[in-house]
Amino acid sequence: MMEALSPWEKKLLLALAEHEGTVTPEEVDMELVKTMNASSWLQSKGLVECSDSYSYSFQLSKEGETFLRDGLPEKNLLHGLERERIRTIEERLGKKEAKIAIGWAKRKGWCDIVVENGEKFLIITDKGKRERNQTQPEEEVLAKIKNKQYDVDEKMLQMLLKRGAVKKLKGNLTRKITLTEEGWKVVRKGITLDEEVSQLTAELIKRYAQRGELPKLRKYDVTAFAPSVYPGKLHPLTQLIEKIRKVFSEMGFAEIKGSYLEPCFWNMDALFIPQDHPARDMQDTFYCKKPATMKVDGKLIDAIARVHENGGATGSIGWRYNFDRSEAERVLLRTHSTVNTIRYLYHHPSPPAKVFSIERVFRRENIDSTHLPEFHQIEGIVHEEGASFSMLKGLLKEFYARMGFTQIRFRPSYFPYTEPSLEIEIQWNGRWIELGGAGIFRPEVTIPFGVEEPVLAWGLGLERMAMIVLGLSDIRMLYFSDLQWLNELPLL
């Protein structure tokens, strides 16, 4: 143990021995920072114990000075008083002062308030008659604080702080370093401050060569505690996004982006979501006031309106309702990033196409351990001749396998804009967890934009995947600035 001690640790142990085992950092004849570092290392080795304590000082406020000089308001109120109208007291003292004095006197049981013929009277009690001429505990505490004596009744001190009679000054931190029994054993064996070398340099080698002697090298305790050092790194959510980008890029996809603000046309109508669908209610969707509307090409609206009303040229019968064209131009915060892919298909109707996006979407969700009103969606499409449902399942299996998930299954599902449709589940800790939906865009979605070949589409949850990868049970942890958790988290 002795050989592993640094010179500063030895100096601190010697100082502790000189002061009978306990010192404050200021009592040690070393720089404060060296003393604190040495005490931390000695504490990690079990040779000392460090403790902190706070002591506070107080001073009287102007209110407190008045109380001490002129007496407490409740005492002054009762001098020479047996019974008096409260209205008269208020006229004499002022309403504010009367309220304070009566309140404290009543709280202490020094007076009672009675009503006679609609008039309120203050009547002194027997306790009030005894106490009004006595020195009160508050006055004793005020006198002590005036003389910088702070060993006072805590309850009374808190009462005076509440009344604004006393001010709490900045606290003083006192640190103590104390030798443990193990530390005493080391001290008793004897400590010498020999010159030791902890790091060889060219200059040191030259100097000792000239002396014709070897330096005494300090030994290191490789089992000793060492503080963790954390490098700067990306947030885990950002790391996961970058990993997903890399996977899709390696699979031959290009990334696309969109806007937070969208008209209902692109977010809902173009995807064959009926205008009376529950997802379009104010309870589920964030609609905007500024701008409240966004202009959409009238020909596009007419084409989609026909699809909704009677199926248009898609071979469908549509939803059989009167399409509201003004509803199509209402502005909302996008509820899914499928809006990016349908607009991309409108501008690029000819195959082939393989695109994806990882962007934020917004829904009216109550915040809890598994839901947020703002989250990310992993969206993508494959548009090519001969694309099939089997291809879609194979593509999703490949994506999740590259992300480290091998136990994957699919369940039939329903979405207004895909048919057939499925949900993706992965096995995690012995249970199946749903991570997103996928399917083939319906003719009602693709034909109005001149898209004739099959379009495979999917929308996957990023935060839920992150919870699984990071082993979280609460989705909110992804957005809490818990620096310890972020520092200790390994790179993905």
CATH number of 181's domain? 1.10.10.10
Residue 174: pLDDT band with limits 50, 70, 90: confident
Q: What CATH number is given to the structural domain containing 371?
A: 3.30.930.10
Task: Give a yes or no: residue 446 inside a domain.
Answer: yes
If asked whether residues 283 and 243 sit together in one domain, one would say no
Q: How far apart are CA 309 and CA 321, in angstroms?
A: 5
Q: How far apart are CA 457 and CA 451, in angstroms?
A: 14
Average pLDDT, the chain: 91
Does residue 221 register a pLDDT over 80?
no
What's the confidence (pLDDT) of residue 345?
Answer: 97
What's the confidence (pLDDT) of residue 193?
Answer: 78
If asked whether residues 399 and 323 sit together in one domain, one would say no
If asked whether residues 412 and 430 sit together in one domain, one would say yes
If asked whether residues 469 and 350 sit together in one domain, one would say yes
Token pair recorded at residue 82: 């047996």
Domain count, the chain: 4
Token pair recorded at residue 410: 């699919």
Q: Using one digit for the tens of pLDDT, what is the confidence trace for 24-83?
A: 999 998 999 999 999 998 998 899 999 988 888 899 999 999 999 999 999 999 988 899
Is residue 339 within 8 A of residue 378, CB to CB? The reply is no
Sheet-wide strand order for 353-362? 254-255, 353-362, 374-383, 455-461, 431-441, 418-428, 408-415
Segment 389-394 shows an average pLDDT of 96
Task: Give a yes or no: residue 218 inside a domain.
Answer: no
Segment 311-321 shows an average pLDDT of 94
Residue 216: pLDDT band with limits 50, 70, 90: confident
Please tell me the total number of residues recorded for the chain in this structure: 492
Q: Using one digit for the tens of pLDDT, what is the confidence trace for 138-173?
A: 999 999 999 999 889 999 999 999 999 999 988 888
Task: Give a yes or no: residue 213 inside a domain.
Answer: no
Task: Give a yes or no: residue 222 inside a domain.
Answer: no
What's the confidence (pLDDT) of residue 225?
Answer: 66
Note down the domain range covering 20.
2-55+172-189
What are the φ/ψ torsions at residue 53 (nearest 5 degrees)?
-145, 145
Alpha-helical runs (H) found in 50-180: 62-70, 73-78, 86-93, 95-107, 126-131, 137-146, 154-162
Listed range (132-136, 221-225, 440-444) with the worst mean pLDDT? 221-225
Is residue 187 within 8 A of residue 11, CB to CB? The reply is no
Does residue 2 register a pLDDT over 70?
no
Last residue of a domain, one of 103, 127, 162: 162
Segment 364-376 shows an average pLDDT of 90
The helix (run of H) or strand (run of E) holding residue 342 is helix 338-347
If asked whether residues 271 and 355 sit together in one domain, one would say no
Segment 454-466 shows an average pLDDT of 95
Segment 251-259 shows an average pLDDT of 96
If asked whether residues 430 and 327 sit together in one domain, one would say no
If asked whether residues 38 and 158 sit together in one domain, one would say no
**Percentages (nearest 5) of helix, strand, coil residues in the chain:** 40, 20, 35
Segment 363-385 shows an average pLDDT of 93
Q: What CATH number is given to the structural domain containing 115?
A: 1.10.10
Q: Using one digit for the tens of pLDDT, what is the confidence trace for 197-212?
A: 777 788 888 888 888 8
Last residue of a domain, one of 305, 333, 361: 333
Does residue 321 register a pLDDT over 90?
yes
Cα distances (Å, whole numbers) of residue 77 to 70, 127, 159: 12, 14, 19
What's the confidence (pLDDT) of residue 158?
Answer: 92
Residue 1: pLDDT band with limits 50, 70, 90: low
Name the amino acid, one letter, at 96: K
Token pair recorded at residue 201: 């340099």
Does residue 435 register a pLDDT over 80?
yes
Does residue 333 register a pLDDT over 70?
yes
Residue 369: pLDDT band with limits 50, 70, 90: confident
Does residue 219 register a pLDDT over 80?
no
Last residue of a domain, one of 287, 305, 333: 333
If asked whether residues 376 and 244 sit together in one domain, one would say yes
The helix (run of H) or strand (run of E) holding residue 408 is strand 408-415
Residue 253: pLDDT band with limits 50, 70, 90: very high
How far is residue 162 CA from its own chain's centroid? 33
What's the confidence (pLDDT) of residue 436?
Answer: 93
Task: Give a yes or no: residue 153 inside a domain.
Answer: yes
**Region for residue 50 given its phi and psi (left: phi exceeds 0; alpha: psi -120 to 50; beta: otherwise):** beta
Residue 213: pLDDT band with limits 50, 70, 90: confident
Q: How far apart are CA 106 and CA 110, in angstroms?
A: 6
What's the confidence (pLDDT) of residue 341?
Answer: 96
Does residue 224 register a pLDDT over 70?
no
If asked whether residues 303 and 407 sit together in one domain, one would say no
CB count within 10 Å of CB 250 equals 9
Task: Give a yes or no: residue 224 inside a domain.
Answer: no
Is residue 352 within 8 A of residue 384, CB to CB? The reply is yes
Identify which has the larger pLDDT, 290 or 218: 290
If asked whether residues 177 and 107 sit together in one domain, one would say no
How far is residue 99 CA from its own chain's centroid? 44
Task: Give a yes or no: residue 202 inside a domain.
Answer: no
Segment 416-427 shows an average pLDDT of 94
Does residue 355 register a pLDDT over 80?
yes
If asked whether residues 395 and 485 sit together in one domain, one would say yes
Token pair recorded at residue 340: 């990016």
Contact partners, residue 390, CB within 8 Å, separation at least 6: none
Task: Give a yes or no: residue 431 inside a domain.
Answer: yes
If asked whether residues 379 and 397 sit together in one domain, one would say yes
Segment 298-315 shows an average pLDDT of 95
The helix (run of H) or strand (run of E) holding residue 112 is strand 111-116
